Amino acid sequence: MLEGAYRLDLLVESQIVVETKTVERVLPVHRAQLLTCSKLADCRLGLLINF
C-alpha cells in the first residue's frame, strides 16, 4: 500500500475491506475509494457501510 496515501477503516481476515461512512448519500467517489483500497489491499470483497 502507498505509505500514508490510503487508510483502510477495517480489514477482516486479510480478505474483506470494510469502509464506513457517515454521509447523507453514498456518492460514486465513495465507491471508487472502496475499489481502490480493495485493489491496493489485494482483496476481492469490500463492504461500504453508511451510518
- The range of the structural domain enclosing residue 20 comes to 10-50
Structural domain count, the chain: 1
| DSSP letter (8 states) at residue 47 | E
Instruction: Say what the pLDDT of residue 1 is.
Output: 47
Helix (H), strand (E) at residue 20: strand 16-21
Per-residue pLDDT of the chain (51 residues; tens, 9 = 90+): 455 667 889 999 999 999 999 999 999 999 999 999 999 999 999 999 999
The answer as to whether 23 is a domain residue is yes
Alpha carbon distances (Å) from 31 to 46, 48: 10, 7
| DSSP letter (8 states) at residue 17 | E
Among candidates 26, 27, 45, which has minimal Cα distance to 8?
45
